[in-house]
Amino acid sequence: MWTGEHWAPRDIPNQAGRRVVLTGANSGIGYYAALELARNGAQMVMACRNPASAEEAARGIRAEVPNALVEVAILDLASVDSVREFSAKVIREGSVDLLINNAGVMAPKHRLQTKEGLELQFGTNVVGHFVLTALLLPALVQSAERHPDRPRVVTVASIAHKRGRLHFDDLQWTKSYSPMRAYQQSKLANLMLALELDRRLRRAGEPQSRIMSVAAHPGVANTKLFQVGDHGPIERLIRRGMGKLIETTLNSGAEGALATLYAATAADAQDGGYYGPKGFREMRGVEIRSAEIAPQARDQAAAERLWTECERLGGVKLLHQDSARVSG
């Protein structure tokens, strides 16, 4: 099987005419993915929570790519109302050819909550993106009906999913809270939902089945995930040092974005594929290959249960089983 080991940003096909929604595009992996897609002609919707940081990132892209088509849009994935408002605006302005669910929260020291009262990592990383995908599905279908190139939904997961477990008895960590275990659960859920989305798209028939669901992970890359949060001055300093060490010995943000860019644009990317760096334990490297999926991520019964729970928590329906069977 071809591994993608010689694939590089120079291999990105022309993205002119393609409208891309990318969450968390203001820093790290999201920023470098946005930069390369804009460099290749994509119309970028940079969906970010912090307006000032997003505008600064957009200026950086325009400085490097003077003709970049870049739009900043405010999206707080920790608020379903914000996701709904953002999605309505995106749909009013046209179809979507590529949705990259990239933004994330990683291991805040204390248990924090979304606007709806969900544990912050599960609510943001999982439910927020689930609702966004559900609400933007009509815009993706519109692209599938109008354009020869298949639209894609790319979900950014993590090698942390391998240590994750779904705690259906306490998904929101109200009984006890472990920052890293909650993060691992959220990344496992991301990958499971990406794989379940692929299965449901296939069952739904055209035009939905023309939409690709693909996942990727960056290995271990230096992003702001290591630096944000309610940390004291000493811990912040340590985390900045960790980021620099990761960039030196493992992956930079630009290198970490390669698997996402491959999943988003490569002609060889497969429906339901999962891609990451080829290096040591999938933690580093600029060569991209099919990534290892932990056994628990392939549990289809658990994925269906998780899907139903996300529909309930987000107040949406996404390729619901009954409708998928009827249309399929």
Q: Report the 10 Å Cβ neighbour count for 187.
A: 26
In whole angstroms, what is the distance from residue 190 CA to residue 77 CA?
14
Can you list the alpha helix ranges (DSSP code H) found in 44-97? 51-64, 80-92
Which listed residue (31, 32, 177, 183) is catalytic? 183
Structure-token pair, residue 149: 């190139």
- Of the candidates 38, 41, 45, 40, which has an alpha carbon nearest to the alpha carbon of residue 61? 38
- Of the candidates 251, 223, 252, 4, which has an alpha carbon nearest to the alpha carbon of residue 103? 223
- Find the helix packing angle between 258-265 and 28-39, rounded to 10°: 50
Could you tell me which residues are beta bridge partners of residue 214? 154
Determine contact, residues 222/244, Cβ cutoff 8 Å.
yes
- 3-state SS, residue 154: strand
Residue 32 bears catalytic tag: no
Q: Which residues are catalytic?
A: 183
